[in-house]
Amino acid sequence: MFNKIIPYALSLLLPLVFGVTHADDSLFSAKLYAKFQAKSCTNCHDFYEKAKNGLSITTHASRLDVNNCTSCHTPDVTGLEHSSEWFAQPGLYTSGMDAKATCEKTKETLHAEFKSKALLARQIETHLLSDVRVLWGIEGATPKSGNLPFKKKEADMVKGGMDEWKEQVAAWINGGMKCE
């Protein structure tokens, strides 16, 4: 009798367990946080941050002319149609922030407090799914994602490709963009 009850009990429990995991995907900490913290994103977001020892202080100290970034980060390298979009600025979310801080900083930078949830959701969605720099940071999103000058390549990319990224962004946005 038990060898019937156990599989039966499992068949009831498993969907429950997976159901719960699925619901958690609406939390920023569930899947997106780790991806936001990939070096392909944070190396650029940290660029001018002294506290993070950003590239402007380390490898790029002699390459700081903002009109000259694209002499190396050419469209041929980055795949960006408008090469001038390859730029960095301070004040973004940075490496090492925890999930809550990463999420809150993102909203703050986008001036969330002055926008309805609907407008914010639309802008965040557009940014995350079509910003050329975000796409550059996602493995396989474009043929040149991750490519750097002098045939170098960013090793720590956002893994899982565009389909997974889209699903996870949608789960978080549809769940109300919670910073938990």
Using CB under 6 A as the binding rule, whether residue 54 contacts ligand HEC is answered as no
Contact 29, 171 (CB under 8 A): no
Nearer to ligand HEC, 22 or 153 (CB): 153
Using CB under 6 A as the binding rule, whether residue 79 contacts ligand HEC is answered as no
Q: In angstroms, what is the minimal distance from the CB of 24 to ligand HEC?
A: 20
Distances, alpha carbon 16 to alpha carbons 9, 13, 27, 30, 129, in Å: 11, 5, 18, 18, 31
Q: Which of 25, 29, 57, 63 binds ligand HEC (CB under 6 A)?
A: 63
Using CB under 6 A as the binding rule, whether residue 174 contacts ligand HEC is answered as no
Q: Which stretch binds ligand HEC (CB under 6 A): 14-22, 114-122, 126-134, 168-176?
A: 126-134
Q: Name residues whose C-beta falls within 8 Å of residue 145's C-beta, 6 or more positions apart in sequence.
A: 40, 79, 135, 136, 137, 138, 139, 157
Using CB under 6 A as the binding rule, whether residue 49 contacts ligand HEC is answered as no
| Structure token pair of residue 20 | 């719960």
Contact 160, 150 (CB under 8 A): no
Using CB under 6 A as the binding rule, whether residue 95 contacts ligand HEC is answered as no
Q: Which stretch binds ligand HEC (CB under 6 A): 3-11, 13-21, 61-69, 166-174?
A: 61-69
d(CA 92, CA 47): 10
The residue count of the chain comes to 180
Q: Which of 27, 30, 69, 120 binds ligand HEC (CB under 6 A)?
A: 69
Residue 117: which of 168, 169, 173 has the closest Cα?
173
d(CA 158, CA 138): 5
Using CB under 6 A as the binding rule, whether residue 120 contacts ligand HEC is answered as no
Which residues bind to ligand HEC, rule: CB under 6 A? 36, 39-41, 43-45, 47, 55, 59-60, 63-64, 66, 68-69, 71-73, 86-89, 92-93, 105-106, 109-110, 127, 133-134, 136-138, 148-150, 152, 154, 158
